[in-house]
Structure 1
Amino acid sequence: MQEFVIKAVQQLVAQGKTPTVALVKGKLIQPVAMPVIINVLNHYKKDPASIILQDVDDVALPDQSIGAEQQSQLDRIEAKLDRLLALLEVKS
């Protein structure tokens, strides 16, 4: 399962996007446990090169093309989620 998450992170970075839980989860074609996604993202944040340069068997993830309106809505939802997570971190 971890290889799917790593591949999704690599694709997001290649697109010039900062990987987040929401973006990674949106790239996955099958359910992956949230702790696995968070673990890979934490590892990426500590050492981005280790994930980006890691060889993963060529796992085919579909190009999930979405319209501009859907992307805009997804961006707004992601921004709200990031703000909520930041608030939770401050209160912890």
Structure 2
Amino acid sequence: MNAAVFEAIKVLLDEGKVPTVALTKSRLVKPLPMPVIIAAVSQYKNNPDSIYNLMKTPEQASNSDPKNTQLDRIEQKLDRLLALLEQK
């Protein structure tokens, strides 16, 4: 996949939007051929995990456990704090 298209899809995902051809094309810094954009969006729609796997650097992929991400730890702390507040 083209790195520019990959970055555009990543930006859309970070914004909480579902990548479409039109949205992805609008996020590109420079114009690219439509078949490249369509292929990337199709790849995402067929297998969203493939994009997330590409987003991890090799170092992150080997060092991080998906069950123990920073977001999961923050959510656990928040759950504990909410439970403590409910007890009072």
TM-score range relative to shorter protein: 0.5 to 0.7
Indicate the SS of the match to 1:32.
coil
| 2:20 equivalent to 1:20 | yes
- Larger CA Rg, structure 1 vs 2: 2
Task: Give the Cα separation in 1 of the matches to 2:39 and 2:56.
Answer: 17
Give the superposition deviation at 1:56.
8.1
Structure 1 runs of 4+ aligned residues shifted over 3 Å read none
- TM-score, normalised on structure 1? 0.56
Q: Structure 1 residues 18 and 26, CA, compared in 2 at 3 Å: closer, same or farther? A: same
| Alpha-carbon distance in structure 2 between the residues aligned to 1:21 and 1:41 | 6
User: Could you tell me how far apart the structure 2 residues matched to 1:50 and 1:2 are?
Assistant: 14
Aligned CA-pair RMSD: 2.0
Unaligned runs of 5+ in 1: 58-92
Greater share of residues in helix: 2
Partner of 1:4: 4
CA distance in 2, matches of 1:33, 1:56: 26
5+ residue gaps, structure 2:
58-88
Identity among equivalent pairs (%):
42
Query: 1:1-92, aligned counterparts within 5 Å?
Result: 2-55=2-55
Q: What CA distance in whole angstroms lies between the structure 1 residues aligned with 2:55 and 2:13?
A: 15
- Give me the TM-score of the superposition, normalised by structure 2: 0.58
Q: Which has the higher contact order (CA 8 A, sep 6+)?
A: 1
Counterparts of 1:55 and 1:20, CA distance in 2? 18
